[in-house]
Structure 1
Amino acid sequence: MTAPPASALRIGGSGVGAISILAGATGTLESVVSPTLPLLQRELSIDPGQGALLSIAMLITGALTAPIAGVLGDRHGGKRVLIWLMVVVSAGGLVSSVAPNLPVLLAGQVLEGAMVGAMPLSFILMRKLLPADRSPVAIGMISGFFVGGGMLGTLIAGPIAEGLSRHWMFAVPTFAIIVATFLVHKLAPDDPPSRTDARIDWPGVALLSGIVLTFMAGLATAPDMGSQPLLLVGVVVLLAAFVTGWIAVERRAAAPMFDLRLLATPAIWRSYVVTFAVCVGAALSIFLVPQLFAVSGDGYGFGASPTDIGRYLLPAAAMAAISGPLSGLGVRRFGASTVVAAGIVLMTASLIGMALVHGEIWHLIVGKALISLANGACITALVIRTATSVDHGTTGTATSLVLVIRVLGFATGAQIGGAVLTAGTPAGSEVPAESAYVTALIIAAVVSALSLLAIRTMNKGATHEPS
């Protein structure tokens, strides 16, 4: 690994705080669509299929933007690219806030998706401008604010949309992003480029985009694959073709988007596997728990209103907010692998607990809070693990792929949850059977637990294990 840059220690607590606030504001804007999707479908007169497109538009563009942002940050400096990226995100938020119809709102969401690239740029800044013993805690704080902002958006979107209008639920976090971006511009120092030779590998970006889009399309059409086996074959063949092409291009590229030799090291690829599994488990809980609060089924559910659900999820938001800094401290003291393993055990136990015991509201409140804590701690530790396992010049590129995998994991978990509930809904009813929720939570627990198999050897091939 290259030596830390001479500019280390140039950023102070106010600069780290400004970047953390920006992460929280972007996390809030990212999450406002999901809890208000029924309201948006009603007000914009769109069907569930169009609603599904709206719910994943930002995820898709974010997954495609993150690798490009990481390379640009490595080449031109993290702060400069971060500021320009936030200009795009702010424009998207403003477009979404005034959107009169679905096409305009989709355009706003596409622009907002650029926010996913902000995280690797923030990690570039922390590694460049802080010493090695302080950067894990700072990365943890930024990750925690982003996760906490996401939970805050879930909490406030419904009340703002119902009390004011759907326009204000986009406008409020956008204004916060604009203010936070100004603070970052004033309080964070400029960082020098890590790789002056870094170039955007456009063929690699195009093929990775094909992988992501095909994967998302496969998830969206999964319910029809049972009756249309040729559709499944087509998706698998197309996905395999994109993956094969991407590997071939990256091997031959003079400046590949991602060094496949690095991807082949256990420290990196096992981190990606664990990231995907943890996000699948967390996404299932995010999808299922609010519906369990709201459903009024036969002998289960609580018939909660959107405002009630927001109050019930408040402890989970608090746990998400503190998970990042706690994870950063834990990584510095015990190592990333230990923190990830502890988080997976806690998440698995909480998922099983909710599957078996969910007869009272507090059961779900406690379970969801513990899952939020575990998920935030795991993802933060995995990001730190990845960032500190590569050279300073590839921090943005390596961590951006973590965020791509995070998006794919959350999308997969949500689709699994939807498929299980749909299959578990009795004929002639619109309410899934209680057993469907139990099955989905058990699936989430199993997927999370299986990721422990990758933890034991995750350190092999590592350049550095934070301690």
Structure 2
Amino acid sequence: MSLAVASPVRIGKLSIGALGVLALALGTLQSVVEPALPQLQRELGVSPSEGALIGNTLLITGAVITPVAGKLGDRFGGKRVLVWLMAVVSAGGLLASLAPDLPVLLLGQILQGVMVGALPLSFILVRKNLPARESQVAIGVVMALFTGGGMVGTLIAGPLSEKLSWHWMFALPTIAIIATTLVLMRLMPHDPPIASDRIDWPGVALLSGTLLVFMIGLVRVMGDGLPPLAVVALILLVAALATAWVTVERRAASPMVDLRMLAKPAMWHSSVLTLIVTTSFGMVAFLLPQMFAIPADGYGFGLSTTDIGLLLLPGAIAGAVSDSVGGVVARRFGLRAVLVGGAVVTTATAIALASLHTAEWQLVVAKALAAIAAGVASTALLTRAAAAVDTGDTGIATSLLVVTRVIGVALGSQVGGAILDSGADSRTGLPTESAFVTGFVTAGLVAALALLIVPITKIRSTQIRNTQIRNTQNGVQA
């Protein structure tokens, strides 16, 4: 017997605007570290690989919490879980703004990392309250504003850290997050849970443990380094946790992640390609500010945090625009064309940087091109995955893609930091020019891997539309 299911309640522009402003504030808080990283390294007395840890600590938490947040949002309602997460993010931002040293700053970054889980929760709210076509546009807007927060963070990091202190670049975005969350609580309607199934807590614990050990192991291996035996032990531990998680999910009556969903080509193809795209971009995004800060008496430019922020701004703008149009461009030209084009642009840009890095404009253009390619490709893959699953799995599906994106950026920056550390001058302790060249070439080779994988994915733009139609039909039949 078929039962009619109520159509999505249309939320007003103010509610979408509140989600967007919150995403903007979160993006700002996440991005203030990038232009200020050389300054933080100097003031805290840490190496490039330790500096990468400042940003990646946030990503570690994000990778762990995001799939959990998406699943809880699917089960308990996106608005409720979003408010919980924003309370933790606010606590982390306030702690970082008061941090007297590196350990306290890292603790603040750990709590702030919960912000990554806000994205799939926003997607849940959008898909529950808007028709399919409008929800795709809204997802792009939220992603664009989150990325656009990078523009704000890039701009304010320098003036705040140089004229006041670096503590203020954490304090102001946190205040905006607190205020916007209060507004969102009032404007956004409560979304009822899609299902009342019991949460698969063993699956939650095992997946979180797997991601946590993987991310911490990644940071340690790429940072200070570990003995070979310890590396092997980490690999075995990650493999054991992942195997246990798969076993639990197969037997669970209501698994955290439906492995059949994960096995869909749209999901695992998107995950692999997202990892490649974001790893390459993460390397470029880490290396450029480091080169800007290298003293000008050598091959660097000796720029201040404010100057670095201004030069990174075009790339932040390009990233915001590309994130907003990724889904639209994929529908217009086909996902395969978008991915191939992005891989070619990123590969050519990174390889060109190996020899063309003597002028500021060269690095500015390179950052913008890399941001455009990565933004369009990763957002197109995200919208494809969201369209390929049932509405009730939107949170967990998009969470897994966001986690993959986070892991890719973290992996790229840690690899970049390790390359710079290994190529440091023994007299000055600064990275040599050849170390940067190695980093740029490596980033280009990573991006080129996408050209080998895309041909086997059998991607068609019509698949997205057909899946949307099928999901809509399934939604009105019980």
Fold shared, TM-score > 0.5 on shorter chain: yes
Q: Give the equivalent residue in structure 1 for 2:443.
A: 444
Structure 2 CA distance for aligned equivalents of residues 240 and 254 of structure 1: 24
TM-aligned CA deviation for residue 226 of structure 1: 7.8
Matches of 1:413 and 1:13, distance apart in 2: 37
CA deviation after TM superposition for structure 1 residue 224, in Å? 8.2
Aligned residue type for 1:343: G
Q: Is the 8 A contact 2:286 2:416 kept in 1?
A: yes
Write the letter of the residue equivalent to 1:219. Answer: L
CA distance in structure 2 between the aligned counterparts of 1:224 and 1:324, rounded to whole angstroms: 30
Contact 1:155 1:310 in 2 (8 A): yes
Report what 1:288 is aligned to: 287
Q: CA deviation at 1:436?
A: 1.8
Alignment of 1:171-190 (within 5 A): 171-190=171-190
Give 3-state SS (helix, strand or coil) of 1:356's partner.
coil
Q: State the secondary structure of the residue aligned to 2:464.
A: coil
Aligned match of 2:15: 15
Give the match for residue 91 of structure 1: 91
Q: Distance in 2 between matches of 1:41 and 1:293?
A: 14
Amino acid at match of 2:85: L
Counterpart code for 2:19: I
**Which range is displaced more, 352-361 or 93-102?**
93-102
Contact 1:144–1:376, Cα closer than 8 Å, also in 2: no
The residue correspondences of 1:303-318 to structure 2 (distance < 5 A) are 303-318=302-317
User: How far 1:460 moved relative to its partner?
Assistant: 6.2
Q: Distance in 1 between matches of 2:442 and 2:46?
A: 31
The match for 2:66 is 66
Once residues 392 and 461 of structure 2 are traced to their aligned partners in structure 1, the CA distance between those partners, rounded to angstroms, is 16
SS of residue matched to 2:435: helix
Contact 2:49 2:414 in 1 (8 A): no
Amino acid at match of 2:355: L
Q: Which moved more, 1:118-127 or 1:131-140?
A: 131-140
RMSD, matched Cα: 2.8
Change (3 A) 1:102 1:357: closer
Q: 1:214 Cα shift?
A: 2.3
1:257 is aligned to 2:286: no
User: Match of 1:453?
Assistant: 452
Q: 1:334 to 1:196 in 2, by over 3 A?
A: farther
Question: How far apart in 1 are the matches of 2:68 and 2:147?
Answer: 22
Shift of 1:124: 1.0
Aligned mates of 2:389, 2:50 — CA distance in 1: 40
**Residue of structure 1 equivalent to 2:371:** 372
TM score, norm. by length of structure 1: 0.91
Q: Structure 1 residues 4, 301: closer, same or farther in 2, change over 3 A?
A: farther
User: In structure 1, what is the equivalent of residue 218 of structure 2?
Assistant: 219
> Aligned in 2, Cα 1:360/1:460: closer, same or farther, shift over 3 Å?
closer
Identity of aligned residues (%): 54
Structure 2, gaps ≥5 residues long = 467-478
- The residue number in structure 2 matching 1:133 is 133
Whether 1:246 and 2:245 are equivalent positions in the alignment is: yes
What amino acid is aligned across from residue 109 of structure 1 in structure 2? Q
8 Å CA contact retained: 1:148, 1:318: yes
Query: 3-state SS of the aligned residue for 1:210?
Result: helix
Partner of 1:405: 404
Q: Structure 2 length as normaliser, TM-score?
A: 0.89
1:221-243: per-residue Cα shift (whole Å, max 9, x none)? 32589883212221222122122
Q: Secondary structure at the match of 2:427?
A: coil
Once structures 1 and 2 are overlaid, which stretch shifts more, 86-95 or 280-289? 86-95
The offset of 1:281, in angstroms, is: 0.5
> Per the alignment, do residues 226 and 111 of structure 1 end up closer, same or farther by CA in structure 2, a change over 3 Å counting?
closer
Displacement of 1:276: 0.8
SS at match of 1:451: helix
